[in-house]
Chains A and B, each alone.
Chain A
């Protein structure tokens, strides 16, 4: 496999993880444009652990993500009282706070960035991708998944049915932060060099775009959106300079004509049923 294609696939895998991290939070009808912040925490923490403290990659990744998750829970608890738009603003503030923090934090390089982390392979990235996809798949079919659906559809009614809405929201937030943290760690150890500018508000909004374009009703939408956005630049070589305008225009059109995104819940349901039927006829 050429180095070039490997690079595209690696970033695609990381984008899929990031998209899933936003989706996880979206599961409870909350929108985060601060996931680049969680990614940064995972990236810098794991990089510091491997480079400065000699830890092996896997534990470093998990610890970095766990820290991101913990911080996600800590800010989640007060922040999740906020109504939709205000939460978005809060996550924006959080992301920028983290970015500017790492811009100044000398132990991880400050403005000069952090050089050295390495070890991510394509296999490792996709192992995590597949792993999380399986988790989301199981979640979808489980009681907990239904609870999340209820909390998202109508939190007030869900609360009268024994569901602790805050617990679900905080859990989703922490879970999303964890996934973003893993993505960050993998990213750092793939790129060999990270700096705070990598974890900008623009990145956070791009991730959100992946999910919205792909479809925010199911996790497959996040996956599809990330795949599309990761391969599109290559396909759109010829309009490279106008690439961003193109995304912008496509997105605006999408919001107007198909706001639920490419992959809808109905689609997944129908495909799922067809799969089941196929399975049944194959058995008999």
Chain B
């Protein structure tokens, strides 16, 4: 039973990780939180749902949703961050909130505020690994998430663009010194961030099988929780913390009361941000 829950937790957590990484990339780059991120995730979920209804196979659906959500990410950057470069930090923050509200509204107009069901397309096979039962959906989710995370990790470490992203976020180094224009680094970061959210959206739709235009709110917040616990600005931290949060959530529902789930998660979040803002893996500046 315990291992079953562990697997379930990892699966759920992997979607949280993807969302958290998206936040982390933007935070690391611009020291800002993109509060429209959760709603980009939601759009990704609905794109996945729409493609599924159109009979498009899952893997293609994932790729299309990734691109669609990535484009959303770039739109957020264009409207909420770029024109407000010199503003007080509240400007972009509030703009992303507004953008998110806009996305929710658009989503409601297109798909309605009632839950939309995900069509049953793929055959769900069950695999027995000892005491644990794993469905093919879970395997798909785990593998997709892991592949993306490892891919991103390697990308950041090995490619020129990846190094430019790290350089810009970890220090004052001008990305152009590494041969990449700063604007492109920013656009690319937002695209990746959105794309990851989009994939997480599709995967989450697969898990819950019904979605509303408001799922981005909670999932977005959980993503922020994971980001903080992992260590603000640390991509690997976000990955691990996302998994942890997923496990905590599933364990709580299994062994404790489901009602307290969010209270515990947000409680942990609050304690971390106030008493250990560097999270598990990071370092952050405090006011002296």
Contacts and interface: CB of A to CB of B under 8 A. Distances in A.
Contacts of B35: 205
Contacts of A208: 90, 94, 97
Interface in A184-210: 201-202, 205, 208-209
Contacts of B33: 85, 88-89
Given A92-B224, A212-B90, A81 B286 contact: yes
A131 interface: no
Interface residues on B, range: 35 or more
Interface in A42-95: 75, 78-79, 81-86, 88-90, 92-94
Interface in A99-116: 100-101, 103-104, 110-111
A181 B117 CA distance: 40
B94 A255 contact: yes
A244 B105 contact: yes
Chain A residues touching B, majority SS: helix
A214 B202 CA distance: 39
A53 to B, nearest CB: 25
Contact of B262 (A96, A245, A249, A256): A96
B286 A85 contact: no
A57 to B, nearest CB: 29
A209 B287 contact: no
A85 B35 CA distance: 12
B274 A78 contact: yes
B109 A251 contact: no
Interface string B192-230: 000000000000000000000000010001001100100
A241 B109 contact: yes
B274 A252 contact: no
Contacts of A103: 259, 262-263
A245 B97 contact: no
Contacts of B109: 241-242
A248 B75 CA distance: 14
A89 B228 contact: yes
Nearest to A104: B259
Identify which of A81, A96, A209 gathers the most chain B CB atoms within 10 Å of its CB.
Answer: A96
A202 B98 CA distance: 11
A132 interface: no
B88 interface: yes
Contacts of A84: 89
A86 B273 contact: yes
B104 A244 contact: yes
A252 B101 contact: no
Interface stretch (B2-10, B79-87, B137-145, B178-186): B79-87
Given A83-B286, A92-B221, 16 more contacts: A84-B89, A86-B284, A88-B33, A89-B33, A93-B225, A96-B262, A97-B267, A100-B266, A103-B262, A104-B263, A201-B221, A242-B105, A247-B101, A248-B100, A249-B102, A251-B95
10 contacts: A79-B273, A89-B273, A93-B270, A94-B270, A96-B266, A97-B263, A104-B260, A104-B263, A216-B90, A259-B91
Interface of A: 31, 75, 78-79, 81-86, 88-90, 92-94, 96-97, 100-101, 103-104, 110-111, 201-202, 205, 208-209, 212, 216, 241-245, 247-249, 251-252, 255-256, 259
